[in-house]
Amino acid sequence: MFTPGHQVDLLQGSQEFFPALVQAIDRSVHEVRLETYIFSVEATGALVAQALERAAQRGVKVFVVMDGAGTDGLSLEWVRRFAAAGVAWRIFSPLGRTGLLLPSRWRRLHRKLCVVDGRVAFCGGINVLDDFHDPNHGALAAPRFDFAVRVTGPLVESAHAATLQFWWRLQATRIVRQGDLTAAWRALLEARKFDPDKPDQAGVNRAAGAVAQTRADLILRDNVRHRTRIERAYRQAIGEAQHDIIIANAYFLPGRKIRKGLVHAAQRGVRVRLLLQGRYEYFMQYHAARVVYGDLLAAGVEITEYQLSFLHAKVAVIDGHWATVGSSNLDPLSLLLAREANVVVDDVAFAQNLQARLEHAMQEAGTRVDSTAYAHRPFIQRVLDWVAYIGMRALLFVTGKRY
């Protein structure tokens, strides 16, 4: 899974992520490819949009893909600005009139990837969205808790190939809708040239950072060839854990195998700590997650709920050297339906840096879930929890997915 020769920098929140991303875009010479679930030009999000505009104006090829559920569109001002600058942008699977009523619409672009000149990549859970603003809840008193990484090294080629392949598939879909089947077939053939598993086909030079020794890799999840890769990476790391597991996850409703892995780890003496969403954001995710608390608490798993602001992180540290930062939640939407991207790292310094930040968040901004209080939580809350959990299972049944 791991390849040496990387430099991986941890970035917390948009306060660290946006300046690093903007700097890389401003230094771009040939190409910028950005994929995100939410693309918001409000507040500091405009800094990213402006950097993309500047790059295109000086002749850099700029490609942007945003998801149709996370982003319903761009303002007329930014449509005109991107057109004038030459930014190519697409919305993946716009919702249209049916919204999310059709199961086919639940397969979203949730990964957050950016590749600049085929030499540096960014990956994580952070959208192009100001940390002090929530699309559904408005202004936030404290910043959203989330992470991304900046990477140089061999995995950048895989990220570049993935973004190229996805762009050409979008082009093919668009051309089919226009009725030009011959051109659509050419676009599909172009997409097939770029395989993230064979990144040398991406046609870019091996990224800088060969002197670095950090071992890392990019793990993608899609609905074609990479359906279970992220889940399997978690399960393997949990199964091999010797002394410590820390997972921070915004929407936590893992399948039976991951839950059993966590329970078995705790039972064999591994300290298992979970940092989970403590503030109400969405009914289904908030309540359904609490149904699985019981078995985990009974096994000795420590659960802390983040209270300071919205937890949006999707990260983990195991045994002080294995770590992952990415877009994938441990819930059915991420593990069964969405396109996701995680970077996994095998490096003591990186893992301990991330672990220190998670432990600080637990201590300073979290509330530990007491097993006795959980068992005696109000009847109405237990009803809501089970309604959400059964509803989630019913939605999975509609999609034909087993979890």
Q: Which of 9, 195, 244, 319 is catalytic?
A: 319
Q: Are residues 205 and 294 in the same domain?
A: no
Whether 319 is catalytic: yes
Residue 182's pLDDT is 65
Q: Integer distance in angstroms from the first to the last C-alpha of the chain? A: 24
- pLDDT-derived band at 239 (thresholds 50, 70, 90) equals very high
How many CB atoms neighbour CB 223 within 10 A? 11
Whether 110 is catalytic: yes
Using the predicted structure, report yes or no on whether residue 247 has a pLDDT greater than 70.
yes
Domain containing residue 381: 215-399
Return d(Cα 198, Cα 168) in angstroms, integer. 17
Using the predicted structure, report yes or no on whether residue 193 has a pLDDT greater than 70.
no
Residue 204's pLDDT is 43
State pLDDT tens for residues 318-328: 999 999 999 99
Q: Which of 110, 133, 160, 287 is catalytic?
A: 110
Is 65 exposed, middle or buried (CB count within 10 Å of its CB: 0-12, 13-18, 19+)? buried
Residue 308 near residue 142 (C-beta atoms within 8 A) = yes
Average pLDDT over residues 86-107: 82
The runs of H, that is alpha helices, within 242-400 are: 256-267, 283-289, 293-298, 332, 348-365, 371-375, 379-399
Residue 187's pLDDT is 54
Mean pLDDT of the chain: 91
Average pLDDT over residues 315-343: 96
pLDDT: which is higher, 16 or 189: 16
State pLDDT tens for residues 196-210: 776 654 444 444 444
Of 165, 190, 213, the last residue of a domain is 213
Whether 312 is catalytic: yes
Residue 389's pLDDT is 93
Q: Are residues 204 and 129 in the same domain?
A: yes
Whether 314 is catalytic: yes
- pLDDT-derived band at 388 (thresholds 50, 70, 90) equals very high
pLDDT: which is higher, 266 or 223: 266
- pLDDT-derived band at 105 (thresholds 50, 70, 90) equals confident
Q: Which residues in 37-50 are b (16+ Cβ under 10 Å) and which e?
A: bbbbbeebbbbbbb
Residue 208's pLDDT is 44
Residue 26's pLDDT is 98
- pLDDT-derived band at 397 (thresholds 50, 70, 90) equals confident
CATH number at residue 100: 3.30.870.10
Average pLDDT over residues 331-352: 95
Q: What is the CA radius of gyration of the chain?
A: 21
Q: Are residues 391 and 269 in the same domain?
A: yes
Return d(Cα 6, Cα 21) in angstroms, integer. 18
Q: Are residues 209 and 220 in the same domain?
A: no
Using the predicted structure, report yes or no on whether residue 189 has a pLDDT greater than 70.
no
Return d(Cα 130, Cα 18) in angstroms, integer. 9
Q: Are residues 246 and 206 in the same domain?
A: no
Of 213, 228, 246, the last residue of a domain is 213
Residue 183's pLDDT is 58
Q: Which of 67, 222, 314, 347 is catalytic?
A: 314
Q: Which of 131, 146, 312, 346 is catalytic?
A: 312
The domain total for the chain is 2
Of 149, 178, 213, the last residue of a domain is 213
Query: Which residues have C-beta within 8 Å of that of residue 324, sequence separation ≥ 6?
Result: 219, 233, 234, 237, 315, 316, 342, 343, 344, 345
Residue 238's pLDDT is 98
Residue 225's pLDDT is 83
Q: Are residues 393 and 248 in the same domain?
A: yes
Average pLDDT over residues 243-270: 97
Average pLDDT over residues 141-157: 97
